A and B are shown apart, each in its own frame.
Chain A
Amino acid sequence: MKKLLLLSAAVLVFAAGANAQESAGTPPQGMRGTPANLPDVSALGNITGYLSDDRADTGRNELGINEVETAFQGYIYPEMRADLILAIHKHDGKYESEICEAKASFLRLAEGLSGEMGKIHLDFGRINKLHSHHLPMADRPQVLANFFGDHELAGQGGTLKYLLPFIPFYTQVQAGFWTMAGHEHGVSADNTADVLDTSLSTVTVPALIHEDADFSPAGKVYTARLNSSFELADKTELELGLSGLKGRGAHYEEHMDNVEVTGVDLTLRLWPSAYKRLTFQNEWLHLKREVPAGTLNRDGFYSFLNYRADKYWDFGARFDYAENAWPGISYERALSGIVTRHLTETSYWRLQYKHRNLDGKNINEGWLQVSFGIGPHSHELE
């Protein structure tokens, strides 16, 4: 018995030694890389010139830096990444700094399951997740601006993603829970209202105003998305997505509104040759906004057709239809033409013309955009 115990102990020691030897040995053949424990550090700038014949537009006919973004990205643990993306961007003529995204990504929690935590651009539809410098257009489609605000809809929280294993094509499901700050309200002596006092005399008082009149979901927000991709032919891919969001409005204290947004997206991409690519991308969103007085139902969509003619040039056209999120409904239709000249993966210049019709009022707008990147910069696969 004693011999058996000694033998077992010796086997255990040998096994442990063998394991230690294996893990301390050289990396498996077929690996290369210079050891350097540094994150990828990058910076991006977005210079935008904007022209408009709408005299009410206070931001028109200006050229200047619109956004600066810095990113620190890298692995923090095997199968765990961190991305810190800090930005200073122009909003209503003022520069504001913000944490654009700051997230830890768990690339593999279990087979096919991954997760992200932190401040993240919500994975809703095709475009919301993209940073503005990564868009194939100078402005965001109007339906997204009307339902989500001027910038990407971002929340603090987490999401779980599951890549379905048992079906013969790419399908991923995900669900997230987020908190988003509501819009700030305040009073200003410049904004006044005439009211009757207790003696029924008229007095002028500062009025409650919105510092930011954008509509967007806020508070506790739940999201879900299902997206699939079908390889129709060797160089043709069809992608379908369904997105859902439930939360409150950004002005909940004032409007007591519960919000649901549903989205459907369809993208067809063809690669006829090495550099040529045709993209036909469509996204439809429906907003349901329940307020004490009733329910607002609003719709909007865009269709985007883009042709990459060669390694350097992209030509695009977009049609927008968007209703607003407010009780007084407005209808907007717009047609845009976009030309992009790529310099590198992260640098390009772009010209865009847009003709808008907002409730019968015609507006012409134009953009000149120069976007540049320094250093290795990457975003999650779109």
Chain B
Amino acid sequence: MKKLILASAALAFWAGAARAEIKVVTASSDLRYICERVGGAEVKVESLSSGDQDLHMVEPRPSMVFKLKKADMVVRVGLDLDMWMDSLINAAKNGRLFYGQPGYVDASAGVPLLEKPEGKVDASMGDIHIYGNPHYWLDPANSKIMAGNILAGLKRAAPEKAAVFDANYGAFVRELDVKLAGWEARMAKYKGLKVITYHSSWPYFARRFGLDVAGHVEPKPGIPPSASHLDGLMKKMKAENIKVILTESYYPRKGPDFLAGKTGAAVVTAAVSAGGAKDVKTYFDVFDRVIEGLEKAAGK
């Protein structure tokens, strides 16, 4: 009898230890960070991309299918940026994650969008996103909406833990508000600062902090710069005294370095997602580092 009780206790302990944490797969490392903040100890989150990857170009792999197969919830960036996710969700055959099912979360839902094209859209415009610019997470204020979408998804997955998720969400938003106020204070003196960016990744960031994006190294989204385009950009930078080039860490430095060499501008290479550089471990670090870089470049 004693043995039976001990065995039952051990079994109960094992069952408790192996209690179901919510398995979440995210498209980006930023979404993983936010999901971990909102889910806390109740979630185990994996991201299908690393912070140093271009989210347009993630290559689906069988190992990703396997992760989705086991997941309770998937969180995607949406707006056609992570279209590679569709084939993965289909291949995983996990009924919880199909579009419209409780485990499907599109973090972009409710985000006010910029650069929403109107009229006919085709490849002559480059790699254009029909729903609007998908780099919305680069406005830190949008992370409240992203976290809200994740919160709703987690509550669907585990309604009994809603109070824990609400508390975690509240803590995340409070920390964000403090940080956002600090970033806005630091960036206040750079309102109207003209910058050149490599790709059209920064309109949300620019709007939040009052930067003026005067041009892009790419002539059109996704199209590599030609010599004539760089020449025109160089003339514009000289004419308008543009002294900052902001480029994502995964893009080649050749174009920005050429422009910097000809105009004396400073190049700020920024990780756009958590884990995109050694000193960018969290979603908040992304903004700490970009703003540091801009302060240095603008102060030159």
Contacts and interface: CB of A to CB of B under 8 A. Distances in A.
Interface string A168-208: 01100000000000000000000000000000000000000
A347 B223 CA distance: 13
Contacts of B252: 310
Query: Which of B75, B109, B252: most chain A Cβ within 10 A?
Result: B109
A301 to B, nearest CB: 22
Given A31-B104, A33-B106, 18 more contacts: A30-B104, A30-B106, A30-B149, A30-B152, A81-B90, A107-B93, A108-B98, A163-B91, A169-B66, A227-B62, A229-B63, A274-B54, A275-B57, A277-B59, A344-B222, A347-B123, A381-B87, A381-B90
A277 B148 CA distance: 36
B107 interface: yes
Contact of B91 (A27, A231, A311, A381): A381
A229 B98 CA distance: 23
B169 to A, nearest CB: 13
Contacts of A227: 62
Nearest to A229: B62
Interface in B90-144: 90-95, 98-100, 102, 104-110, 123, 127, 131
B66 A229 contact: yes
Interface residues of A, number: 46
Contact of A170 (B57, B63, B93): B63
A375 to B, nearest CB: 9
B39 to A, nearest CB: 14
A28 interface: yes
B282 interface: no
A165 B69 contact: yes
B93 A163 contact: yes
Interface string A284-327: 00000000000000000000000000111000000000000000
Contact of A28 (B54, B93, B148, B152): B152
Contacts of B44: none
B156 interface: yes
B69 A274 contact: no
B150 interface: yes
A78 B100 contact: yes
A163 B57 contact: no
A32 B100 contact: no
Interface of B: 50, 52-54, 57, 59-63, 65-66, 69, 75, 78-79, 86-88, 90-95, 98-100, 102, 104-110, 123, 127, 131, 148-150, 152-153, 156, 222, 224, 250, 252
Interface of A: 27-34, 78-79, 81, 105, 107-108, 111-114, 163, 165, 169-170, 227-231, 234-235, 237, 239, 269, 271, 273-275, 277, 310-312, 344, 347, 374, 378, 380-381
Nearest to A235: B50
B105 A30 contact: yes
Nearest to A232: B63
Contacts of B152: 28-30
- A-B pairs, top 4 by smallest CB distance, nearest first, are A229-B62, A274-B250, A30-B105, A29-B152
A260 B147 CA distance: 55
Given A32-B108, A274-B250, A380 B91 contact: yes
B109 A29 contact: yes
B62 A344 contact: no
A82 to B, nearest CB: 13
B92 to A, nearest CB: 7
Contacts of A273: 52, 250
B224 to A, nearest CB: 6
Contacts of B60: 381
B24 to A, nearest CB: 12
Given A29-B152, A229-B61, A79 B66 contact: no
Contacts of A31: 99-100, 104-106, 109
Given A275-B250, A312-B224, A237 B62 contact: yes
